[in-house]
């Protein structure tokens, strides 16, 4: 039997972002590593499998710096929702998620990413009520089945949004207050013990599937939990990831509670280090950005989510000027509704252009592309991904140059950032394995996945139906309180038209 341990990819155009070109080359892959790139027709082992890429553009698999795989059942359910509204329903929608559902939703997220040219992600998955070895491994199995790399970080918290948001609990009618204080919360000790157990029993190769630590939102965690998260990440030499200054309300709430900004608070507790990723970072000021840069931290930029959840427009130019590493993230299905990095990269570029008329402040196409590739690799902390080069992992996306997006082929970097939308993805190689061929997943049966997801969605819907009127009343109170709170003055302005600080009409 022929062993195709080696693969020679013939004649593909490999994107060179610095040269802004895509010359034809041959790429030799051995196992899961690119070992040689040379002129078309270069020598290759006789028994190597040959892939004809004559009509393909090759780019390194995109890297999604921030998502939530477990939100897969919630696609298109949060129209007109602000972040705090979404956080308020979490105790209901996150309840009763079996390991089977965690695996299914991870599979769904991985499948969408693979089909849309993404081969690695940072997934802040469900860690409630307490992360377990079985639960985290179920999520890993979903990614393993599809073949997408993942840093899986169970989200930990020991406070609800009702406790973390100034005045929110007292703004609820008495009857609802009792409902939301009745949530069964996990103690910091239980959460850390659960995650430590999961880390101790992690069976996977860390370059493919890694377990990390996600204190979900700093104000949703006690200081004890935050410090314990920092210690755990250091002990297991893994990543720390948290939603930092995502909403104006979070930035205001931290000043109210601690008299300092969120990054100052995290810094004082010892969490800021090169393994720390701040998701969103919309309401960071200059001092926050310098603090993140000084500690070697990275930021996951999620423009779709920031707009959908009415959190504003992050100042990525200022972060890049401060020398903060930036990756691009889709965020989860509750806050974006898809897992399409092409769309996110395009928005990262476009959003920068409505923030200022000064062209030198705009995100260049190279910067946007870098964020989705090498920037994302740095966020995940995985070496050897994000480039097509000898010694790098064979994570390669093959785009069909005969689709509408590439007629004509002009500037390949510009075209990937501003034209490609995922519809040209013909094949995807991840870790040396073709997980997408002819535009279809080879690793997972999407029809079967659709039936299983649909059944799971129906089961979850039935579970929550009885709470419907309570949820609606809670949400009405949250909306009224939080939209008022977000109008309080803050020294950073991130809303598109500055309406948060304009006088009332």
Please report, as ranges, the residues that interact with Zn ion according to CB under 5 A: 331
> Of 277 and 415, which CB lies nearer to Zn ion in the complex structure?
277
Answer positive or negative: Cα dihedral of 158, 159, 160, 164: negative
> Of 331 and 367, which CB lies nearer to Zn ion in the complex structure?
331
CA 74 to CA 28: how far, in whole Å?
41
CA 238 to CA 21: how far, in whole Å?
36
> Of 13 and 243, which CB lies nearer to Zn ion in the complex structure?
243
CA 38 to CA 10: how far, in whole Å?
10
Least separation in angstroms between residue 124's CB and Zn ion is 6
Residue 216's SS3 state is coil
Contact 213, 153 (CB under 8 A): yes
Q: Which residue is nearest to Zn ion (CB)?
A: 331
209-211 and 214-215 strand pairing = unpaired
DSSP state of 74: G
Rounded to the nearest 5 degrees, what angle is found at the Cα of 42, between the Cα atoms of 39 and 43?
165
Contact 239, 195 (CB under 8 A): no
Least separation in angstroms between residue 74's CB and Zn ion is 13
Separation of first and last alpha carbons in the chain:
77
Least separation in angstroms between residue 302's CB and Zn ion is 7
Contact 399, 406 (CB under 8 A): yes
Partner residues linked to 56 by β-bridges: 400
> Of 136 and 247, which CB lies nearer to Zn ion in the complex structure?
247
DSSP per-residue codes, 447-492: HHHHHHHHHHHHHHHHHHHTTHHHHHHHHHHHHHHHHHHTTS--S-
Least separation in angstroms between residue 337's CB and Zn ion is 13
Match 């996945």 to its residue by tokens.
449
> Of 125 and 355, which CB lies nearer to Zn ion in the complex structure?
125
DSSP state of 504: P
Least separation in angstroms between residue 372's CB and Zn ion is 17
> Of 176 and 213, which CB lies nearer to Zn ion in the complex structure?
213
> Of 214 and 252, which CB lies nearer to Zn ion in the complex structure?
214
Q: Where are the alpha helices (DSSP H) in 121-187?
A: 133-146, 161-164, 168-171, 174-181
CA 37 to CA 39: how far, in whole Å?
7
Least separation in angstroms between residue 68's CB and Zn ion is 6
> Of 86 and 415, which CB lies nearer to Zn ion in the complex structure?
86
Least separation in angstroms between residue 198's CB and Zn ion is 20
Contact 97, 126 (CB under 8 A): yes
CA 325 to CA 274: how far, in whole Å?
10
The residue length of the chain stands at 505
CA 54 to CA 26: how far, in whole Å?
10
56-60 and 6-16 strand pairing = parallel
Least separation in angstroms between residue 164's CB and Zn ion is 15
Least separation in angstroms between residue 208's CB and Zn ion is 23
149-156 and 209-211 strand pairing = parallel
> Of 74 and 331, which CB lies nearer to Zn ion in the complex structure?
331
> Of 208 and 243, which CB lies nearer to Zn ion in the complex structure?
243
Which two tokens mark 88?
């308020």
> Of 113 and 441, which CB lies nearer to Zn ion in the complex structure?
113
> Of 81 and 392, which CB lies nearer to Zn ion in the complex structure?
81
Least separation in angstroms between residue 217's CB and Zn ion is 9
CA 215 to CA 238: how far, in whole Å?
13
Least separation in angstroms between residue 243's CB and Zn ion is 5
Least separation in angstroms between residue 461's CB and Zn ion is 23
List the one residue out of 23, 55, 25 whose CA is nearest residue 39: 25
Residue 241's SS3 state is strand
């Amino acid at each position: 039997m022929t062993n195709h341990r080696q693969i020679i990819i013939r004649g593909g155009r490999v994107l060179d972002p610095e040269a802004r070109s895509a010359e034809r080359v041959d790429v030799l892959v051995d196992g899961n590593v690119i070992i040689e790139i040379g002129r078309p027709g270069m020598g290759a082992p006789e028994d190597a499998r040959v892939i004809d890429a004559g009509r393909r553009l090759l780019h390194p698999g995109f890297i999604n710096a921030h998502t939530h795989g477990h939100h897969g059942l919630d696609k298109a359910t949060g129209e007109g929702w602000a972040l705090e509204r979404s956080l308020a329903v979490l105790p209901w929608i996150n309840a009763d998620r079996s390991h089977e559902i965690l695996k299914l939703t991870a599979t769904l997220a991985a499948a969408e990413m693979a089909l849309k040219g993404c081969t690695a992600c940072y997934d802040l998955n469900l860690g409630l009520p307490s992360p377990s070895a079985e639960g985290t491994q179920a999520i890993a199995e979903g990614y393993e089945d599809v073949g997408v790399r993942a840093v899986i970080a169970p989200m930990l918290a020991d406070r609800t949004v009702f406790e973390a948001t100034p005045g929110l609990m007292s703004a609820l009618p008495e009857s609802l207050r009792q409902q939301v204080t009745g949530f069964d919360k996990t103690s910091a000790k239980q959460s850390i013990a659960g995650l430590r157990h999961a880390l101790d029993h992690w069976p996977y190769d860390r370059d493919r599937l890694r377990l990390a630590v996600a204190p979900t939102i700093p104000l949703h965690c006690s200081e004890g939990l935050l410090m314990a998260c920092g210690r755990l990440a250091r002990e297991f030499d893994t990543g720390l990831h948290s939603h930092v200054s995502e909403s104006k309300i979070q930035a205001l709430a931290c000043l109210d509670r601690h008299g300092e900004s969120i990054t100052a608070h995290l810094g004082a507790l010892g969490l800021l280090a090169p393994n720390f990723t701040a998701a969103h970072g919309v309401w960071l000021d200059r001092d926050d950005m310098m603090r993140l840069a000084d500690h070697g931290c990275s930021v996951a930029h999620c423009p779709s989510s920031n707009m959908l959840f009415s959190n504003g427009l992050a100042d990525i130019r200022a972060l890049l000027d401060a020398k903060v590493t930036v990756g691009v993230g889709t965020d989860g299905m509750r806050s974006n509704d898809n897992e399409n990095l092409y769309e996110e990269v395009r928005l990262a570029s476009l959003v920068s252009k409505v923030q200022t008329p000064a062209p030198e402040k705009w995100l260049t196409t190279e910067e946007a592309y870098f964020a989705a590739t090498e920037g994302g690799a740095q966020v995940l902390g995985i070496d050897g991904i994000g480039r097509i080069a000898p010694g790098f992992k064979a994570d390669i996306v093959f785009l069909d140059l005969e689709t509408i997006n590439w007629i004509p082929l002009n500037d390949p970097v510009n075209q990937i950032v501003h034209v490609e939308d995922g519809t040209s993805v013909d094949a995807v190689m991840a870790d040396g394995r073709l997980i997408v061929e002819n535009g279809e997943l080879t690793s997972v049966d999407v029809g079967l996945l659709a039936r299983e997801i649909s059944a799971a969605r129906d089961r979850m819907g039935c579970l929550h139906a009885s709470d419907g009127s309570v949820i609606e009343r809670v949400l009405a109170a949250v909306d009224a309180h939080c939209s008022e709170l977000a109008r309080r003055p803050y020294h950073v302005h991130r809303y598109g038209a500055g309406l948060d600080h304009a006088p009332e009409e």
